[in-house]
Amino acid sequence: MELADPGFNVPQRIDLLLGAQVFMKIFLMEQRIRLGLYPVLQKTQLGWIVSGEFRNQDEKATSFPQHGFFTRQCNSINDQLQMFWELEEINTPAWSTEERECEEHFIANTSRDNQGHFVVKLPLKQELSTLGESRSTAFHRLQRLERRLSSDKQLHDEYHHFLDEYHKLGHMQPVPSTGQPTYFLPHHAVFKQDSTTTKTRVFDASCKTSNNISLNDILRVGPVVQQDLCTIVLRFRTREIAFIADINKMYRQVRIHPNNYDCQLILWHDSPADPIQEYQLNTVTYGTSSAPYLATRYLQKLADDE
């Protein structure tokens, strides 16, 4: 008989998976059944297929039959059941000590203001005084940025629009120099034209200070709290229609506690002719190592709270 898969008994690479809605439609009326422990032959539009249980010749008639979804010899039904559940088990990687500390820090130091915004403290591993001097580097990077923007009007307009909006939304505000330990985020312009929401990334929290330590070096990164990509993709198979969305200014929906304002200072002025002003960033900043964790973790807490 001409089989759809002549080498069905030889393990090979799977070419195609058919869902049940397709699989049943390829069945034809003809079927061959033989009494006893023999497979069933079913005719399909792809040819004949073989299905059913089997038993090795040296097995006794009372032994438990093997089935196709088991991949190794099992001595008892208990072993088979254990193996079945092992196949279905989802292994969640254990968090490191730093990741657990970051989670505990978030739970203990997160609140909401009177507008409903979350207010978080940056998960610092060390005091801000650990960092060296950073203002001079930020000043030179600002000068370098201005030379670049002066030769490209489109980039100039986009960058200034971005920071003007930053200021108008209250996500940054001018501050006087306090003389306290601070960290200045240097400008680092990256333009992503295919982004539908945030086309400009501007700050570099990995820039080293005078003692070769950056803000990102003293920030806890935090664990991955969102579902893995495979789980998210598989969810698209559970319904016929799926909705996706991009949260506008997702990171900047989260406010930074005033105690951490000195961790996120920048230098800026609208024109080279204007005096340079120091500004503090009041929200979670893209480019800091803890930002992805804080942004996804607050969404989870928002879902729990509401």
Q: Running DSSP on this structure, what letter comes out for residue 271?
A: S
Mean pLDDT of all residues in 34-40:
85
Helix boundaries (H) for 151-271: 153-168, 229-235
CB distance 252 to 284 below 8 Å:
yes
Neighbouring residues of 275: CB distance < 8 A, sequence distance ≥ 6? 269
pLDDT, one tens digit per residue, over 172-191 is 999 877 778 899 999 987 76
The model's pLDDT over 205-222, given as tens digits with 9 standing for 90+, comes to 999 999 999 999 999 999
Per the prediction, the chain carries an average pLDDT of 85
The pTM assigned to this predicted structure is: 0.66
Q: Please tell me which residue, 257 or 35, carries the higher pLDDT value.
A: 257
Which has the closest alpha carbon to 162: 203, 196, 202, 204?
202
Q: How far is CA 157 from CA 10, 49, 170, in A?
A: 64, 66, 20
* Residue 159 to residue 12: CA distance in whole angstroms: 55
Question: Cα dist. 104→27, 123, 306 in Å?
Answer: 57, 10, 21
Evaluate if residue 127 carries a pLDDT over 50. yes
Residue 295's pLDDT is: 92
Higher pLDDT, 84 or 136: 136
Residue pLDDT, tens place only, 230-252:
888 888 888 888 888 888 888 99
Task: State how far the alpha carbon of 262 is from the alpha carbons of 30, 128, 206, 247, in Å.
Answer: 78, 8, 16, 27
Give the strand pairing for 172-174 and 187-191: unpaired
Higher pLDDT, 89 or 145: 145
Domain residue ranges in the chain: 20-88, 97-305
Say whether pLDDT at 74 is over 60: no
CB count, 10 Å around CB of 254?
A: 22
Task: For residue 128, give both structure tokens.
Answer: 């801000």
pLDDT single digits (tens) 252-302: 999 999 999 999 999 999 888 899 999 999 999 988 999 999 999 999 999
